[in-house]
């Protein structure tokens, strides 16, 4: 009996099929794994990766029980141990790579069997685990000649072997340019592209993964992949039953679209948009993230921007802004930034409430906040000419809810030059006032915020500056003036103002002085008093301050109260008497804005 036959009949060989089941639970316990390695298991396993030499008399082919099981079990066990990074180098330093590469070629003698197929698969899996996130070992595999046999195995009849070979190539190609180049030089692309069309999800998942890693940061390989015909099969994988394949395909399409404008258009023309939009609504977070990534890249083309919105991509992307996943949220924001570049999409952003979602969203990372700010700025820059005329048309003929939405958007985004046209000539102010007078708290708040923004844009009244007035005609002609109901301190300040044109006013005397200034028609002094009183406006006293402004016709103080109420509307909403106050002051708010907008536009140079 020859030595190989004896080994095949030995307890080691008979137990090899069970080796994987015995080592698997052991490798799940870190301490036990360390004990196994420290006990010298790695050199022993590496030794059994090769069959013992046969005697000359034993070279006649004949079936042997448990043939290849020792090598297979050893490869499997080493693959499990290689899951721990610190063991990878120990295994390689023990000479395992050369033997594993030799096992990949075990079928070269022309004989194939289930045992040989299983052995090759285990060897490919071991190489995958050894090279995982280990740049130096990836390079060692190439130098040991491992890439050509792996490429050859892509055409193997056994699909499990194909999958294992593709998995190894996928790992070897990741962030290793020399490996990428050799894989392409070995003519792997035609076979990988055929595998993309496989009905076996496991096959096309590994194939698209290999191509994705080949293409990553490699423009020349990307061109070769596209020339080899990968685009349509990759688009086809967007509709795969395998979510992992869908995810990889979306990522790869995003890479295809990265810089090549023509490719962006071709991807859309070949039918990628609809499945990508459907993927945005998946329950799989990673799938949504990759589809948003791909759409973001595609949205850098003007025609694609309109096409994505036309096919219903806008609302799903906006909904992703509510995600608690920072990466997903950012990819959605980047895609929306692209869509906002097309002026045909502005009305769609408004129609679905996109402006408010962008304004009110809670964004996790600073990069997303910056992206959203740029998107709003981009939309703002579009609101002129044809776009503005379209929005004004919609504000006139659409249903009331959409009219109000347009008015809200224009309050936030229009330029000062167009305010009179929008809010006076086209009655946009009426729509905002309708929101403020609504019984819906959300509509009231939206209207208040928009009016506050509009006030800022309209260059509303600044804090009042004192202007030295001259005495009124009555004061000039009178020799003796009776001053009833005025305290001496108030009278003294009033006289000082009359003769000097300036006076220091403190809060404790401001209201009494306002009453006297109003009584004696001292407008300059009134304005100084109003300014001092306005510094004390708070959530608790704004209602009484407004009443004070009405009692003494203090217009500047009244306007300050109006702006304060609009600016702090959300905090005032729950206070007693708030609703009655709003209903009471709505006419004055409208008058204020008519005058402010008219004044602001009259100051604009033609």
CA–CA dist 588, 594 (Å, integer) = 10
Note whether 408 and 473 are same-domain residues.
Answer: no
In a domain, 133, yes or no: no
Q: Structural domain of residue 574, as residue ranges? A: 417-606
In a domain, 78, yes or no: no
> At which residue do the structure tokens 């009949």 appear?
9
> At which residue do the structure tokens 């191509």 appear?
211
| Tokens read off for 30 | 């870190």
Q: What is the pLDDT of residues 436-469, one digit of tens each?
A: 988 898 999 999 999 999 988 875 433 434 344 4
Query: Quick count: other Cβ atoms within 10 Å of Cβ 373?
Result: 14
In a domain, 470, yes or no: yes
Q: What is each CA distance from 272 to 265, 364, 453, in whole angstroms?
A: 10, 29, 40
Segment 485-506 shows an average pLDDT of 81
In a domain, 485, yes or no: yes
Q: What is the pLDDT of residues 418-438, one digit of tens each?
A: 999 999 999 999 999 999 988
Residue 92: which of 103, 79, 104 has the closest Cα?
79
In a domain, 123, yes or no: no
Last residue of a domain, one of 414, 440, 457: 414
Is the pLDDT at 221 greater than 90? The verdict is yes
Note whether 444 and 401 are same-domain residues.
Answer: no
In a domain, 604, yes or no: yes
- Mean pLDDT of all residues belonging to the chain: 87
Note whether 320 and 389 are same-domain residues.
Answer: yes
Q: What is the pLDDT of residues 83-98, one digit of tens each?
A: 888 899 999 999 999 9
Note whether 322 and 452 are same-domain residues.
Answer: no
Note whether 376 and 258 are same-domain residues.
Answer: yes
Note whether 469 and 598 are same-domain residues.
Answer: yes
In a domain, 390, yes or no: yes
Last residue of a domain, one of 370, 389, 414: 414
Q: What is the pLDDT of residue 7?
A: 38
Note whether 522 and 410 are same-domain residues.
Answer: no
Note whether 424 and 568 are same-domain residues.
Answer: yes
Q: pLDDT-based confidence at 142, cuts 50/70/90?
A: very high
Note whether 270 and 398 are same-domain residues.
Answer: yes
Q: pLDDT-based confidence at 301, cuts 50/70/90?
A: very high
Last residue of a domain, one of 414, 431, 457: 414
CA–CA dist 223, 214 (Å, integer) = 11
CA–CA dist 498, 492 (Å, integer) = 10
Residue 317 sits in a domain of what CATH number?
Answer: 1.25.10.10
Q: What is the pLDDT of residue 109?
A: 60
In a domain, 398, yes or no: yes
- Count of structural domains within the chain: 2
Note whether 286 and 274 are same-domain residues.
Answer: yes
**Alpha helices in 468-577, H assignment, sequence order:** 473-477, 488-500, 507-519, 523-534, 542-551, 555-567, 569-572
CA–CA dist 102, 280 (Å, integer) = 45
CA angle 172, 173, 176 (to 5 degrees): 95
Note whether 397 and 452 are same-domain residues.
Answer: no
| Tokens read off for 212 | 């994705």
Residue 433 sits in a domain of what CATH number?
Answer: 3.30.710.10
> At which residue do the structure tokens 């959605």 appear?
332
Query: Quick count: other Cβ atoms within 10 Å of Cβ 605?
Result: 3
Note whether 450 and 557 are same-domain residues.
Answer: yes
């Amino acid at each position: 009996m020859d030595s190989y036959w004896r080994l095949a009949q030995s307890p080691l060989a008979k137990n090899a099929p069970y080796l994987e089941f015995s080592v698997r639970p052991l490798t799940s316990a870190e301490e036990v794994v360390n004990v196994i390695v420290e006990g010298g298991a790695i050199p022993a396993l590496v030794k059994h990766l090769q069959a013992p030499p046969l005697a000359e008399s034993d070279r006649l082919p004949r079936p042997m029980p448990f043939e290849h099981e020792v090598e297979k079990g050893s490869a499997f066990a080493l693959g499990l141990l290689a899951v721990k990074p610190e063991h990878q180098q120990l295994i390689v330093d023990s000479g395992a790579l050369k033997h594993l590469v030799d096992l990949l070629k075990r079928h070269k003698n022309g004989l194939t069997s289930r045992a040989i197929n299983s052995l090759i698969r285990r060897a490919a899996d071991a190489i995958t685990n050894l090279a995982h996130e280990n740049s130096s070992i990836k390079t060692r595999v190439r130098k040991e000649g491992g890439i050509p046999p792996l490429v050859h195995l892509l055409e193997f009849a056994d699909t499990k072997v194909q999958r294992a070979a593709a998995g190894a190539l996928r790992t070897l190609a990741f962030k290793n340019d020399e490996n990428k180049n050799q894989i392409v030089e070995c003519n792997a692309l035609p076979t990988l592209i055929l595998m993309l069309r496989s009905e076996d999800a496991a096959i096309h998942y590994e194939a698209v993964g290999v191509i994705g890693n080949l293409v990553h940061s490699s423009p020349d390989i990307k061109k070769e992949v596209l020339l080899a015909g990968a685009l349509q099969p990759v688009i086809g994988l967007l509709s795969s039953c395998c979510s992992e394949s869908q995810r990889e395909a979306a990522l790869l399409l995003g890479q295809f679209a990265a810089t090549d404008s023509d490719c962006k258009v071709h991807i859309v023309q070949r039918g990628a948009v609809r499945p990508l939009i459907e993927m945005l609504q998946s329950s799989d977070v990673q799938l949504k993230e990759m589809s948003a990534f791909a759409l973001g890249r595609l949205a850098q083309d003007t025609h694609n921007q309109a096409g994505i919105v036309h096919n219903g991509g806008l609302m799903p992307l906006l909904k992703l802004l509510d995600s608690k996943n920072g990466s997903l949220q950012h990819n959605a924001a980047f895609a929306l930034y692209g869509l906002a570049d097309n002026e045909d999409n502005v009305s769609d952003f408004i129609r679905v409430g996109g402006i408010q979602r962008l304004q009110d969203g809670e964004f996790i990372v600073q990069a997303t906040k910056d992206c959203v700010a740029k998107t709003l700025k981009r939309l703002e820059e579009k609101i002129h000419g044809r776009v503005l005329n379209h929005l004004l048309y919609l504000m006139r003929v659409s249903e009331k809810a959409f009219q109000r939405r347009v008015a809200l958007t224009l309050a936030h985004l229009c330029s000062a030059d167009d305010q009179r046209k929008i809010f006076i000539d086209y009655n946009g102010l009426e729509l905002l006032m309708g929101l403020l007078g609504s019984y819906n708290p959300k509509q009231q708040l939206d209207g208040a915020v928009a009016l506050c923004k509009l006030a800022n844009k309209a260059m509303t009244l600044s804090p009042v500056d004192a202007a030295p007035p001259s005495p009124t005609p009555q004061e000039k002609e009178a020799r003796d003036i009776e001053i009833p109901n005025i305290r001496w301190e108030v009278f003294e300040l009033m006289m000082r103002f009359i003769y000097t044109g300036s006076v220091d006013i403190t809060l404790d005397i401001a209201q009494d002085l306002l009453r006297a200034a109003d009584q004696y028609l001292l407008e300059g002094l009134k304005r100084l008093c109003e300014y001092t009183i306005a510094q004390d406006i708070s959530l608790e006293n704004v209602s009484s301050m407004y009443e004070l402004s009405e009692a003494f016709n203090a217009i500047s103080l009244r306007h300050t109260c109006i702006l304060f109420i609009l600016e702090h509307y959300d905090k005032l909403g729950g206070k007693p008497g708030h609703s009655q106050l709003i209903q009471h002051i709505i006419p004055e708010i409208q008058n204020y804005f008519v005058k402010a907008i008219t004044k602001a536009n009259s100051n604009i140079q033609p």
